[in-house]
Copies of this chain bind each other. A is one copy, B any other.
Amino acid sequence: MNRIDGRKNNQLREIFLERRFQIHPAGSAIIEVGNTKVICAATIEDKVPPFLKGTGTGWITAEYAMLPGSTDPRAVRKSTGRAAEIQRLIGRSLRAVTDLSTFGERTITVDCDVLQADGGTRTASITGAFVALVEAFTTIYEEGKIFPVKDFVAAISAGFTPEGETILDLNYAEDSEALADCNVVMTGAGEFVEVQITGEKNSFSRADLNGILDLAEVGIKKLFDIQKNALGDLAWHVGQIA
């Protein structure tokens, strides 16, 4: 069976990922996954949340929001439970590949602002935020030290269609129809950081879960190449030990 946009089941949408989209933040990137477009900006501040004060350890946090014109109908400007959930996921994903003890009592805030939404905004945010984060760290990196980011991290969605197909990188129309929807976050070393699978319209078996994870793994490996390409010379910092 054919997908709405003619893709194969295991095929990603066309992806554009470029760093330095904004001039002010320490790190920034724009990621386009089909019609989904997200700006990621990483800012460094010399302070940490109260629970880290005096520990010498830094923090990474994220904020996620949708521009009013990013959806139809218009997205009202207010903080939602969904946004809270997504920004916590982005923050955990980035912290999972970062050594928080290596950059002092600083906070990196990664803002992911959705310019246009067509499914997969949270996974696109993670993939793009990683590039902004690496770029930001290079602005404070001192030669000969451990680079704070230990490995690549990227994310993709996968799910089942009502026709029983397992498909990769769902757009909005596919996501609305899907029986189960999975977001997978994975490291460059091939291990999982986070797996979230939800079957609001249908429950699913262990076999279903395994099929989805297989597909996600294929997709994420391609994302690492796209991230490396966007980082260019900055890519070699990742995982670098002093």
Q: Which residues of A contact B (CB under 8 A)?
A: 22-25, 28, 35, 39, 41, 43, 45, 63, 65, 67-74, 77, 80-82, 84-85, 87-88, 92, 95-96, 109, 111, 113, 115-117, 186-187, 189, 191-201, 203-206, 209-210, 213
Residue of B nearest to A183 (CB): B196
Q: Are the CB atoms of B69 and A111 closer together than 8 Å?
A: yes
Residues of the B chain whose Cβ atoms lie less than 8 Å from the Cβ of A45: 73-74
Alpha-carbon gap, A117 to B200, bound state (A): 27
Residue of B nearest to A95 (CB): B200
Q: Are the CB atoms of A81 and B77 closer together than 8 Å?
A: no
Alpha-carbon gap, A111 to B200, bound state (A): 20
Q: How far is the CB of A192 from chain B (nearest CB, A)?
A: 5
Extra inter-chain contacts (10) besides given A80-B84, A81-B84, A193-B203, CB under 8 Å: A22-B116, A24-B116, A25-B72, A41-B68, A41-B69, A68-B111, A69-B113, A192-B204, A192-B205, A194-B198
Interchain Cβ contacts under 8 Å between A and B, 30 examples: A22-B70, A22-B116, A23-B35, A23-B116, A24-B72, A39-B69, A39-B115, A41-B69, A41-B74, A45-B73, A45-B74, A69-B111, A69-B113, A74-B109, A80-B84, A81-B87, A81-B88, A85-B85, A85-B88, A95-B200, A186-B203, A187-B203, A191-B204, A191-B205, A192-B199, A192-B203, A193-B198, A195-B195, A196-B196, A206-B213
Residue of B nearest to A201 (CB): B96
Q: Are the CB atoms of A25 and B74 closer together than 8 Å?
A: yes
Residue of B nearest to A24 (CB): B72
Q: Are the CB atoms of B43 and A68 closer together than 8 Å?
A: yes
Query: Which of B23, B25, B84, B203 interacts with A85 by CB under 8 Å?
Result: B84
Query: Which of B24, B82, B95, B186 interacts with A69 by CB under 8 Å?
Result: B24
Residues of the B chain whose Cβ atoms lie less than 8 Å from the Cβ of A71: 24
